[in-house]
Amino acid sequence: MSLAILTLSRRPVWVRGEYPPEGMEFRMSVDGSWQLIIDSPMGKQETTLNLSNVDGVLTGTMVNEAGGMSTEIFEGRTEDTNLQWKAKLSKMPVTLTFRTTVDDDLMSGTVKAGFLGSFRVSGEKE
């Protein structure tokens, strides 16, 4: 017997009723470009996040075109659907610490911005 796999919105649906079938594991790919919105005290900040995940090590760049900033992420890692990374702001001495969860093409979580506090972050994969 074989299982048929349908793909809807980039997420497989296992026809035989189990998700995923026993003994199989489904891993979401976080690789690619994400459009993030950070709810900061200065208003909503739109950022493009380009990610690559190799064996649980997350690398990439964050670009805020409106603010004219681009920075590499560091100390990035993935575990199941949880992501964690840091980025330094170039215009002020603050390190941003992101903790998010990915569900299909959506990302949500928080970003801690040092003495400025923590804010909600959400995003969608392009």
Distance CA 86, CA 73 (A): 6
Closest CA to 10 of 106, 97, 87, 80: 106
Q: Which residue has the tokens 């026809």?
A: 15
Give residue-wise pLDDT tens across range 45-88. Answer: 999 999 999 999 999 999 988 878 899 999 999 998 999 999 99
Backbone angles phi, psi at 107, to 5 degrees: -130, 140
Give me the pLDDT at residue 59, please.
97
Closest CA to 57 of 73, 38, 46: 73
Give me the pLDDT at residue 8, please.
39
Which pTM value belongs to this model? 0.77
Give residue-wise pLDDT tens across range 2-33. Answer: 343 433 344 454 444 555 556 555 455 899 99
**CATH of region 29-125, choose from 1.10.8.60, 3.20.20.80, 2.60.200.20, 2.40.128.120:** 2.40.128.120
Give me the pLDDT at residue 29, please.
84
Give me the pLDDT at residue 35, please.
98
Q: Where are the domains of the chain?
A: 29-125
> Strands 43-54 and 11-14, how do they pair?
unpaired
In single-letter form, the type of residue at position 2 comes to S
Distance spanning both ends of the chain, measured CA to CA: 36
Distance CA 40, CA 38 (A): 6
Separation in Å, CA 37 to CA 52, 102, 116: 19, 14, 17
Give me the pLDDT at residue 69, please.
87
